[in-house]
A and B are shown apart, each in its own frame.
Chain A
Amino acid sequence: MEVVEKKQNGICILGLLGRLDSNTSPEFEKKIFEVIEDGTKSLIVDFESLDYISSAGLRVLLKATKELKRSDGKIVLCSMKEYIKEVFEIAGFVSLFPIVSSVGDAMEEF
């Protein structure tokens, strides 16, 4: 699991690589809360290179979006594989996050 951080037009993009599971989600949690504490309000999480997610990963995203909402910030998710999107659908998370097909489309959500 690797998290790659990029900044573009004042928007922070976190790219996820590999597996977001019970083992690796603490690392992602640390990173996402770091950027939120640094004052980021517009956040894109790019799922393009993410192969796996479990409820541990969903937990981090839920916690982060609750935190960002308090400061009127927003998280947009993009480029999800179809089977990963299904996890979001079953969990009822599609109503909590805008999910779009590319980073470009995600930029337009802000």
Chain B
Amino acid sequence: MIANRVSLELMNSLSELSTLGSSLEQFGEALGLSSKTLFEISLSIEELFSNIISYGYTDDAVHWIKVAISHEDDMLIIRLEDDGIPFDPLKAEEPDCECPIEQRKIGNLGIHLTKKFMDDMVYERQGNRNILTVKKKITGT
């Protein structure tokens, strides 16, 4: 039987990306996702997770980030929950992808890619927690 939900609690450290990556891979393979779809989801999760780590915390303490991956009908759903400072990635400024190289900046490129690859993103602030739910339509299940 295919598990339809994986829940992880990860430290705010980039080294957790490999745990996250392999959990997603197992989940995706069980669902029969194409390698392209799996790549787009992995990239999006990495961008969102590394954003929380880079910008979410103002202290050096260990924080826990909850990640849940599930699917419902033809939607793959990823929910990230953290206790970092309020941050709504949907309000992040769009990068200028046309300007010449000298003025080109990398900021927000991760969010830009995530918005392109995912079909739906919803941000909520509940108490002291950021909750981001992203969805991607999947086929072949």
B interface list, Cβ under 8 A from A: 14-15, 17-18, 21, 35-36, 39-40, 42-43, 46-47, 50, 95, 97-98, 101-102, 104, 106, 109-110, 112-113, 116
Contacts and interface: CB of A to CB of B under 8 A. Distances in A.
Contact of A83 (B39, B101, B106): B39
A69 B101 contact: yes
A61 to B, nearest CB: 10
Interface SS of chain A:
helix
A82 B39 CA distance: 12
Contacts, number: 61
A23 B50 CA distance: 10
Contacts of A19: 21
Given A54-B47, A55-B106, A65 B17 contact: no
A3 interface: no
A92 B113 CA distance: 11
Interface residues of A, number: 23
B48 to A, nearest CB: 11
A54 B109 CA distance: 9
A96 B104 contact: yes
A92 B98 contact: yes
Nearest to B101: A96
